[in-house]
Structure 1
């Protein structure tokens, strides 16, 4: 069953037949996680890099890399995943419409993820980030296979 992960959304599953999918990854970050031992998969679609602490608690934590990704990790751990077994793959973080300024959201999203992973001594197994194409990302819960597609083409990540 295909389960849609919307913008600023996250889903976790341990049902082998599920496929988690997110569309329209432009400057947004798509992060897939899979633990082959626990048989659990997750996908998050983050819009922005950082939730501002001075604005109070975020109404939607999945909107932000710095608080959404840790929440997805907790959800995976609650289903039996371990840090040692997690396979992480990232897509998106592009520069849409060739805009170049200090608000390079895609690059900032990826930098926030890299910092978060470094602090937690984790790393990406694969990435398809940057550029100017919109991406769709699918995670197959049975195998952890991640497929990215754009403009009529698809490829494994």
Structure 2
């Protein structure tokens, strides 16, 4: 993906891309890199979701991109403002790893809970998940091409794959 404009998405961040720009985020461990794409108008969005629910937020000014339940609606709003239509959106996601071997405590299952939360919220909006590369115990870096709708996933352990 050379020669294209690169739009970086940091941790607990989100952004959109148009005109073939590439969205990129690094450091996906338990976080989920969620992409949305309108293939007709080629508007893409990416959120680097850290936590499943804003119910656990402790900050006074909430970072909407940090939580699945606030990041997805915010991303949808930005994409629709750029011309995307909710009925045409498709999702792909990566990440949601269980980075540490821990006991059975549900509060420590951040990666799987992030995936479950993103999946449930997308279901409420009736946005299909076309493909996903989630789980495991390794980190990922992802790039999403806003022209082709391809998500490239890189990891040290598993090399490069496209979904």
Q: TM-score, normalised by structure 1?
A: 0.92
1:148 equivalenced with 2:126 (yes/no): no
In structure 2, C-alpha distance between the alignment counterparts of 1:6 and 1:54, rounded to whole Å: 19
1:14 corresponds, among 9, 18, 23, to: 18
Secondary structure of 1:112's aligned partner? helix
Task: Tell me how far 1:53 sits from its aligned partner.
Answer: 7.8
Q: How many residues align?
A: 156
CA distance in 1, matches of 2:38, 2:109: 32
- SS at 2:122 equivalent: helix
2:133 aligned partner: 128
Is there any run of 5+ residues in structure 2 with no aligned partner, and where?
Answer: none
Please, what TM-score do these two structures have when normalized by structure 2? 0.88
Closer, same or farther: CA 106–58 of 1 in aligned 2, 3 Å: farther
Mark the CA change 1:55 to 1:24 in structure 2 (over 3 Å): closer, same or farther. closer
Cα distance in 1 for partners of 2:37, 2:161 equals: 18
Deviation at 1:133, TM superposition (A): 1.0
